[in-house]
Structure 1
Amino acid sequence: MTIDEIVLLLKASQANGLTTLQELILRSSWEGKTYANIACEADYGEERVKKIAAHLWQLLSCLSKEPINKSNFRQTLENHHLSKAHQQLVKEFNRAATAISLEFPSGSVSLNSRFYISRPPIEELAYAEMAEAGSVICIKAPKKMGKSSLVLRLLARAKKQGFHTVTLDFQQADKAVFASLDKFLRWLCANVSRELQLEPKLNDYWHEDMGSKVSCSIYFQQYLLPALSSPLVLVLNEVDWVFEYQEIAGEFLPLVRSWHEQAKRVEIWQKLRLVLVYSTEILIPTKLTQSPFNIGLTINLPPFTKEQVQDLAQRHGLDWTDGKDADSLMAMVGGNPYLVRLALYHFVGKGGLQRDLRQLLQQATTEAGIYHDYLKQYVLALRDEPELGNAFYEVINTTSYVKLEPALAYKLQSIGLINLEGDVNDGLRLRSTPACELYRLYFRQYLKKSEHFNNSYVERLKQENQQLFVLSSLDELTQLVNRRYFQTYLQIEWQRSARQSTPISLILCDIDYFKIYNKTYGNSAGDECLRQIANTICNCINHSPNNSSFSYSKSMISSTASAFVISQRGDFREESSRVLVARYGGEEFAILAQVEITVAMDIAEHIRDQVKALGIKCEYPSIGGLPAAVLTVSLGVASVIPAIETEPATLVNAAEEALYKAKRKGRDRVVV
């Protein structure tokens, strides 16, 4: 066994797990350190360390059926293997731990997520191409297939190599930007300048007589690229939006190709590495020799294979090695990464150990199913475009395949509803089939040719969508918003702070030894404890000495107290709140505020004092050295002024590290 396996086995076999000090003693003893050294490192008395160690050796002796002490600890257990019973125990423990730390599949998969599944050789090919001078990478795939997750990793690799990175999303451009080619190219150059923190100097390089395309090229060649000491990776996301404006696309796409061609003869253009991201085939009548999509590296993201689905299941703590469950899931949703992840999220997070996959799949096409909330968005979209709805109706109601008008076929493919087979250069010969059986079965219930939806049904769907969004964002026990909503809110506030160059602070608050409290006093007492502390945190925000500079949002139900409320259109609109309190995990709370670090520290200290003042008694006979005779909290604080190219995960990671240090130093404290 390794020391990691030993620690994991003890965590799994003990009802209360392992304390930080116990784990430190195990790992230090494995390394051969003396009790005196361990006591010094842990800032505990040597006698206390010896007493805890003696208990650990007793536990290990029972588990290994051999006498274990400090002197023979490593020598004896290093030659042991986990028994089948212990392997099963660890597996069950990992499953439970996985269920607690699940990530809801929304947006790109973060860089530090264990749920990202690579699709060899795609990533390595993309990395290699990006390293080439003047390269172009074209990433094409329908919605929800993992384009943004791949781009995130490309950008991380680029930064690691010292490259500059800029990401522009055409979906974020105002409609007025597409009024003319000149406006569009000026918007492009101005935004690249801003992202590179260079002063926009368009008027110095823009010449009406030369035209917009030449002026744009000169701006890159003579101003932007020479100002950079290393290559620039320019990601153009949602290029499909440009396709909608034929006059602009017909000029812009050949321009992109010309930049790639210039890199072969003009050295400065070798600094530019382009990444084009789009969902559908281009329908603009450009010459084959002018299209940017037949140069460089073209990546078509495929669905997950059965082996990749099994890999993802294993990362969720499931044993699908026999392949039967993977086959069942793929028979319904294919290898769509989002649909697969959503199934695993719900299966594990909502009782996967007690219920079987068959039940989840039987409900998949119903209003009670896990996909209903997601699929009804398509119902509303197809209702707004009857021609598209009629075309999809044909596809799902045939036993073989359908030949659709190319524009409709490509649009349905881009949103992920159908697969296309045949020659993409000959749209009239393309054969359309449903992307998966789930779509065929679900939409047959809700689509009727030429009379898709009556108004009452559509209105009911819209109201249901709003209600579900509200309910799914609220933690029932504490009436705080949940982690899912917190993550959405953090993304929005991060972007706003980046645009305004204002600080944003995160406080993570963890109840000390709460699992032991819950076990000692019962779940009812634990629930009441969570409610009290949630209310205390909210009161601390409302009555903080700094509360004149911000307001607090407890939930999103009331429009007068919410950080964001749902408008009649079902979207977000901003309110005045600048602080959000959320239930971040089991016994963890998150406080996100647009304040400086000193204010955040004051808030954290106020919360710590007031929670302690509640006087919630906690007496654990088996544990000594508690920070107090009453329940306490540890808090980690982090603050930053975000940069556009950075991710909110940097703030979260820093706060988690600070919280970890607070717990390592003895709990009941604030660490920044």
Structure 2
Amino acid sequence: MAASLSASRYGLETVDVYRKLKGWNKLDEDWAECAGVSTTTLRRFWEGRRIQQTYFQAICQAVGLEKWESIVDKRALVGSCSAQLDERETGNQQEKERLTGEVVLQTSVSTPVETSECNQEQEFSVAQQVRKAFTARPVSLDSPFYVERPPIESNCYNEIEEPGALIRIKALRQMGKTSLTNRILAHARSQNYRTVRLNLRQAERAVLSNLDKFLRWFCANVSSQLHLEPMLDPYWDETLMGSMISCTTYFQAYLLEQIDSPLVLSLDEVEWIFEYPDIAQDFFPLLRNWYEEANNLEIWQRLRLVVVHSTEVYIPLKIHQSPFNVGLSVELPEFSLKQLVDLARRHGLDWSELQVQPLMAMLGGHPFLVGLALYRISCQDITLEQLLKTAPTESGIFIDHLRRHLFSLQQNPELAMVFKKVVTTDSSVQLEPMQIYQLQRMGLVQLNGNEVRPRCNLYRQYFCDLL
């Protein structure tokens, strides 16, 4: 019988801290999608009710909590074992005490263990490895399912070692930006660099009400992650120096002086700032200025920037003030046919290119959709033929993913009509810049010059009749 777990009160408080760092609400659809669960399962989790162990683990790992075992309600586990023992009418009190005192959880780093509930030896099959990998997205550093895109990884590792480096990673949603960034930061740590990762979506609307509040929030968060006490006031004078110079002074005279090694600062979801032009018009030139200062002052060579975004830059920035036209530019492509064949084999599927082609015709090289397909097929939940037949339907395995997009479009009827035009037109369609931005942000379209087309045939088939 599959193990079911619930979180303790302390555990829920711990997850809540990680949730806020991600900028997610408790029933966030992005969280559910990343964990591969429904929002109903998320709700059960927050209510302290039992859910399957694989779902429990996936929810924790998706939010960044790797030591998920520490938040399990052990009392509920003990009660569960006692009830099972009573049902079996063992009558052996000594055995009952042993079992209730030695509940063993299956962890993500070991093979399934033989517990007192089940004495049958279990084999750690390819399917179980796949399940572990899929529920632990982004792809973990030691996962055999991470698909490299040469020479992107090696270029990034080399660039981050350059004084004053700036790496710009742009790709649609669910293309592997986070997994690549994790590897860049891991490489930096292997060089004994300090690393800070800040998701700009965490900035609340109140923080984004003016530049000074935002830059103070920015500096305080970087300080906190470096385990340094925020010391803003001695370096900050909005009236005489202005917020931008105050922020620069704080980094130069305090943060960079307090560390004795390079600092890699990764900024995720910077497109969130595009929606606040008053902030963007000053913040992005500030980043560009820091990059340029590495040519003038040695201390700024310690700062290495990684800027991650999902859309084109649609805010007007002067060429010499933009951080989006300097440094190393990285655009993550979709998986190629050969990469899909290789990934299928890693999932235990001995497929040829000919067998993979129908899957690619439906999903393109979309990493998340392809990963979900191979995951379900390798677990023998569905065959390739069944998957392709039901993919764009309500009974298909992608329905949760598709419904989330449908719901978002229904909240914006004007955008829904625009996307209907895209999916019902055989050729690429020219749209307004803001329309492209909105659809790109959702990950629904690919950009070809100034025109767009559906990101994959699955989207074309599903939304064609529903919009």
TM-score of the superposition, structure 2-length normalised?
A: 0.72
Q: Which residue does the alignment assign to 2:8?
A: none
- How is 1:446-457 mapped onto 2 (pairs within 5 angstroms)? 446-447=466-467
**Is the 2:174–2:367 contact (alpha carbons within 8 Å) kept by the matching residues of 1?**
yes
CA shift in 2, pair 1:119/1:314, >3 Å: same
Q: Which residue does the alignment assign to 2:207?
A: 177
User: In structure 1, the residue corresponding to 2:284 is in which secondary structure?
Assistant: helix
Deviation at 1:414, TM superposition (A): 2.6
Report whether the alignment pairs 1:264 with 2:295.
Answer: yes
Deviation at 1:419, TM superposition (A): 1.0
Give, in whole Å, the separation in 2 of the partners of 1:118 and 1:411. 28
In structure 2, give the amino acid aligned to 1:438. L
Q: Which residue does the alignment assign to 1:98?
A: 126
**Is the 2:428–2:448 contact (alpha carbons within 8 Å) kept by the matching residues of 1?**
no
Report whether the alignment pairs 1:437 with 2:467.
Answer: no
Unaligned runs of 5+ in 1: 1-94, 423-429, 448-672
Q: Which residue does the alignment assign to 2:158?
A: 128
Which of 401-410 and 247-256 deviates more? 401-410
**Is the 2:194–2:261 contact (alpha carbons within 8 Å) kept by the matching residues of 1?**
yes
> Which structure's CA Rg is the greater one?
1
Give, in whole Å, the separation in 2 of the partners of 1:414 and 1:308. 25
Deviation at 1:351, TM superposition (A): 4.3
- How is 1:336-415 mapped onto 2 (pairs within 5 angstroms)? 336-351=366-381, 355=383, 357-415=384-442
Deviation at 1:385, TM superposition (A): 1.4
In structure 2, give the amino acid aligned to 1:148. T
Which digits, 9 at most, give the CA deviation of each residue in 1:195-225, with x for residues without a partner? 0011110001001210000000000000000
Q: Which residue does the alignment assign to 1:144?
A: 174
| C-alpha RMSD of matched pairs (Å) | 1.3
Deviation at 1:373, TM superposition (A): 0.9
Give, in whole Å, the separation in 2 of the partners of 1:309 and 1:234. 32
User: In structure 1, the residue corresponding to 2:304 is in which secondary structure?
Assistant: strand
User: In structure 2, the residue corresponding to 1:302 is in which secondary structure?
Assistant: coil
Deviation at 1:325, TM superposition (A): 1.8
User: In structure 2, the residue corresponding to 1:298 is in which secondary structure?
Assistant: strand
Give, in whole Å, the separation in 1 of the partners of 2:144 and 2:419. 36
In structure 2, give the amino acid aligned to 1:384. Q
Which digits, 9 at most, give the CA deviation of each residue in 1:475-499, with x for residues without a partner? xxxxxxxxxxxxxxxxxxxxxxxxx
Provide the identity percentage: 51
Q: Which residue does the alignment assign to 2:444?
A: 417
Give, in whole Å, the separation in 1 of the partners of 2:421 and 2:180. 33
User: In structure 2, the residue corresponding to 1:256 is in which secondary structure?
Assistant: helix
Q: Which residue does the alignment assign to 1:207?
A: 237
Give, in whole Å, the separation in 1 of the partners of 2:250 and 2:317. 25
Q: Which residue does the alignment assign to 1:326?
A: 356
**Is the 1:130–1:137 contact (alpha carbons within 8 Å) kept by the matching residues of 2?**
yes
Give, in whole Å, the separation in 2 of the partners of 1:215 and 1:100. 52
Q: Which residue does the alignment assign to 1:298?
A: 329
CA shift in 2, pair 1:246/1:106, >3 Å: farther
Give, in whole Å, the separation in 2 of the partners of 1:325 and 1:170. 41
Q: Which residue does the alignment assign to 2:198?
A: 168
Deviation at 1:285, TM superposition (A): 1.3
Give, in whole Å, the separation in 2 of the partners of 1:387 and 1:297. 37
Give, in whole Å, the separation in 2 of the partners of 1:314 and 1:330. 15
CA shift in 2, pair 1:106/1:376, >3 Å: farther
The count of corresponding residues between Structure 1 and Structure 2 is: 342
Deviation at 1:382, TM superposition (A): 0.6
CA shift in 2, pair 1:262/1:237, >3 Å: same
Give, in whole Å, the separation in 2 of the partners of 1:201 and 1:231. 20
**Is the 1:235–1:274 contact (alpha carbons within 8 Å) kept by the matching residues of 2?**
yes
User: In structure 1, the residue corresponding to 2:125 is in which secondary structure?
Assistant: helix
Which digits, 9 at most, give the CA deviation of each residue in 1:492-542, with x for residues without a partner? xxxxxxxxxxxxxxxxxxxxxxxxxxxxxxxxxxxxxxxxxxxxxxxxxxx
Deviation at 1:359, TM superposition (A): 1.6
Alignment partner of 1:228 out of 252, 259, 268: 259
Which digits, 9 at most, give the CA deviation of each residue in 1:276-321, with x for residues without a partner? 011111211111121101000011110001111011101000111x
Deviation at 1:262, TM superposition (A): 0.3
Q: Which residue does the alignment assign to 1:587?
A: none
Alignment partner of 1:117 out of 120, 136, 147: 147
- How is 1:603-622 mapped onto 2 (pairs within 5 angstroms)? none
**Is the 2:126–2:347 contact (alpha carbons within 8 Å) kept by the matching residues of 1?**
yes
In structure 2, give the amino acid aligned to 1:437. N
CA shift in 2, pair 1:285/1:166, >3 Å: same
In structure 1, give the amino acid aligned to 2:445. I
In structure 1, give the amino acid aligned to 2:276. Y
**Is the 1:139–1:278 contact (alpha carbons within 8 Å) kept by the matching residues of 2?**
yes
Which digits, 9 at most, give the CA deviation of each residue in 1:369-410, with x for residues without a partner? 010011100001011112211111100011112111111112
Give, in whole Å, the separation in 2 of the partners of 1:96 and 1:210. 62
Which digits, 9 at most, give the CA deviation of each residue in 1:224-272, with x for residues without a partner? 0011110000001110111110010000000000000000010000000
Q: Which residue does the alignment assign to 1:255?
A: 286
In structure 1, give the amino acid aligned to 2:273. V
Unaligned runs of 5+ in 2: 1-122
Give, in whole Å, the separation in 1 of the partners of 2:462 and 2:287. 41
- How is 1:40-79 mapped onto 2 (pairs within 5 angstroms)? none
Deviation at 1:151, TM superposition (A): 0.6
- How is 1:275-290 mapped onto 2 (pairs within 5 angstroms)? 275-290=306-321
Larger RCO (CA within 8 A; separation ≥ 6): 2
Q: Which residue does the alignment assign to 1:157?
A: 187
Deviation at 1:96, TM superposition (A): 8.2
Instruction: State the 4+ residue runs in structure 1 displaced beyond 6 angstroms.
Output: none
Give, in whole Å, the separation in 2 of the partners of 1:155 and 1:286. 28
**Is the 1:105–1:338 contact (alpha carbons within 8 Å) kept by the matching residues of 2?**
no
